[in-house]
Amino acid sequence: MITLLKYLQEIYGIDSSYVYDEIEKLKLKYNSNETLKELDEKDIMLITYGDSIKGKDKPLKLLNKFLSENVGDLINIVHILPMFPYSSDDGFSVVNYLKIDKKLGSWEDIKTLSKSYKLMFDAVINHISASSDWFKGYCNGEEEYKNFFIECFDDIDYKDVVRPRNLPLYYRYKTRSGDKNLWATFSSDQLDLNYSNPKVFIKVLEVLLEYAKNGANFIRLDAVGFLWKEVGTSCIHHRKTHLLIKIIREVLESCFPNTRLITETNVPHKDNISYFGNGDEAHLVYQFPLPPLTLFTFISGNSSKITKWAKSLEKIKLFNNNTYFNFLASHDGIGIRPVEDILDEDEIALMLNNTINKNGRIGYRKNSDGTKSPYELNINYLDAIADKNASVDMKVNKFMASQFILLSLQGVPGIYIHSLLGSQNDYKGLEESNINRRINREKLNYDDLIHRLNNKDTISSKVFYKYKELLKIRKNNASFSPSSKQKVLYLNNNVFALIRNNDADEILCIVNVTNKEVKVNIEFNGIDLITGKDFNNRLNPFQYCWVKRG
């Protein structure tokens, strides 16, 4: 209580008592009496849009049907990307935080899905749609929404503000009290909320509690690094942003201890892990360097950079209930910023050229000096990894070798639905929309998908069933629990290797990142859980092994 008051006083000054009283009311309203359950090796997440699979039924019903009939308990968490009514940005310009998009289904569908799977909801709380009641109320001069948004002025210098997109910082809008320039980090349709107004924070906090009440075991704080604005600063990773997250964490743990926060901050690694705080901010942080580092490893055939980076994680002390959220692909592109201090210019250029050569796109951001820098690679992860002219089997083997790294590392793995299903670049979606990110957001027809998965010669089928084999092994070995130890090994530049162990078992995780046979010098006797054979220190091209000591 004393700490909460201290944070509130630093953020809101004379309004801190009001905010504290409102928080206490929310705690009474939303108290769930839950008992905390620890994360374990069975916690594996699927990342999907509510309508990634479409057919005759509503998409949320189809998603549940597909998972129950084809995946079962191999995955036990489902991250449904924004499932609320929206006006742009494929869901990330939310019109109403508390309604389910009718095109997807209903809250009843969410409730049904939550009976079989833990769920992660997206909290798009840095900004809200220009079509929302919140913004309309502000423009109409309604008292409830007074100061809900951030006014900008032409005579103020905003050059220090970090820009994630190559777009203006603010746009002009008509309001009852005259035209105003309003802050919009991501687009003219996405107006940033004004967290210096305590009523905004209380209203958003109640939204998060409603999510937890309605089945959210994980809440993803989208673009949370931009939350607090202060002219003269970069307006990213502000101290008051961190304090707001600490307060959200404290309130959630008080009301819903099994609802965990994940922060989405696609930035250099040091800034990213700062959102662990002192074990009092995010429960999990995205491992943003992992997607580009894994990609670089396989297109260069050299594991030295990913080994050095993974080894450096051993120096970072994780607090109780903290772990990493590991992923390789998502609805967004493959971020470049997280490896700016890990890879040099030539190594980044290798990834850029690889993307262009495989018909992907490059996303750029605007720098404070007016120049632009590559921000993300827009390409399906399978196409990014696999060699263009390779056989289907070689493409599958190389891609699955990359996914093996994801499933081996300490933390909770998140698998994008298009990786699980072996999808490839969606050129039709890209061309129809002229939106770079659509290349990796294909909407799959349910019947066509089932037909592809049942045809064992397709790349989709081969990937899907190899993935299921790995998931079955992983979820049945406690060495893969987030709390189990990890030791990264340096054997040679042709392999990436680490050991995962708990008190009872020890597993060597090793993968050949090259297209040639390699031999490793390591004394580790045991059975490869994937092939059932003794490990003989030799690895075929892109072969991966989970060797259980014995």
DSSP 253-297: HHH-TT-EEEE---S-HHHHHGGGTTTTS-SEEE-TTHHHHHHHH
Asked if residue 73 is part of any domain, the answer here is: no
Phi, psi of 514 (to 5 degrees): -120, 170
Asked if residue 208 is part of any domain, the answer here is: no
Per-residue confidence (pLDDT) for residue 362, from 0 to 100: 97
> How much is the average pLDDT of 27-34?
94
Asked if residue 274 is part of any domain, the answer here is: no
> How much is the average pLDDT of 263-272?
88
Separation of alpha carbons 544 and 547, rounded Å: 10
Out of 152, 175, 191, pick the residue that ends a domain: 191
Residues in Cβ contact with 471 at an 8 Å cutoff, skipping those fewer than 6 apart: 44, 74, 75, 407
Instruction: Identify any residues that bridge with 86 across adjacent strands, giving them in sequence order.
Output: 94
Label residue 112 by pLDDT band (50, 70, 90): very high
> How much is the average pLDDT of 243-262?
97
| For helices 198-213 and 16-30, angle between their N-to-C axes, nearest 10 degrees | 10
* Residue 347 amino acid letter: E
Q: What length is written for the chain? A: 550
Alpha-carbon separation of residue 496 from 310, 507, 512 (angstroms): 10, 14, 7
Q: Are 489 and 304 in contact (CB under 8 A)?
A: no
Percent of the chain at pLDDT above 70? 100
Catalytic residue annotation: 222
The 10s digit of each residue's pLDDT in 445-501 is 999 999 999 999 999 999 999 999 999 999 999 999 999 999 999 999 999 999 999
pLDDT above 70 (res 246): yes
Separation of alpha carbons 10 and 244, rounded Å: 11
Per-residue confidence (pLDDT) for residue 368, from 0 to 100: 72
Residues in Cβ contact with 15 at an 8 Å cutoff, skipping those fewer than 6 apart: 198
What SS3 class is residue 404?
Answer: helix
Percent of the chain at pLDDT above 90? 93
pLDDT above 90 (res 177): yes
Asked if residue 509 is part of any domain, the answer here is: yes
pLDDT above 70 (res 1): no
Separation of alpha carbons 192 and 228, rounded Å: 10
Question: CATH code at 533?
Answer: 2.60.40.1180
Range of the structural domain that residue 162 is part of: 132-191
> How much is the average pLDDT of 189-195?
99
Total structural domains in the chain? 2
Separation of alpha carbons 486 and 501, rounded Å: 7
Out of 191, 212, 242, pick the residue that ends a domain: 191
Asked if residue 219 is part of any domain, the answer here is: no
> How much is the average pLDDT of 148-168?
93
Asked if residue 512 is part of any domain, the answer here is: yes
pLDDT above 80 (res 2): no
Asked if residue 364 is part of any domain, the answer here is: no
Out of 165, 191, 217, pick the residue that ends a domain: 191
Label residue 331 by pLDDT band (50, 70, 90): very high
Helices (H), 107-258: 107-114, 133-139, 198-213, 239-255
The 10s digit of each residue's pLDDT in 219-237 is 999 999 999 999 999 999 9
Asked if residue 187 is part of any domain, the answer here is: yes
pLDDT above 90 (res 148): yes
CB atoms within 10 A of CB 105: 23
> How much is the average pLDDT of 267-291?
94
Phi, psi of 538 (to 5 degrees): -120, 140
- Average pLDDT of the chain to the nearest whole number: 97
Per-residue confidence (pLDDT) for residue 204, from 0 to 100: 99
> How much is the average pLDDT of 291-307?
99
